[in-house]
Amino acid sequence: MFLRGMNQRGEEFLELAKTLDISSTGALLACTRPLLSNDLISLTIPAPPPSSNGLIPAGTPPMQARVRRILHAGDVNLLGVEFLKPIG
């Protein structure tokens, strides 16, 4: 899942995070970027290139989420995020 947001200096970032668990209301992600509790982020699920028959969507719209929990595990940060609008 692509994770996009702003760092503490106001600079935009984009990182590929590993999705460990996902539900209609949130997700557990693993990433190397340090984030803070209550940070707002945007998540995008990568999709394959669109097929010529149009049966596979071109991609998913970004989902807004808030960081609710953070666990530092060595070089990896485990993020518990809550979607601002449940999916599904």
Task: Give residue-wise pLDDT tens across range 20-70.
Answer: 999 999 999 999 998 999 999 999 988 766 665 555 555 678 999 999 999
Whether pLDDT at 81 is above 70:
yes
pLDDT at site 29: 97
Domains and CATH numbers, the chain: 2-46+60-83 (2.40.10.220)
The pLDDT value recorded for residue 21 is: 96
CB-based burial of residue 82 (10 Å sphere; 0-12 exposed, 13-18 middle, 19+ buried)? Answer: middle
Which pLDDT score, from 0 to 100, does residue 87 have? Answer: 85
82 pairs with which residues across the strands?
Answer: 26, 66
pLDDT at 61: 83
Claim: this prediction has a pTM higher than 0.85: no
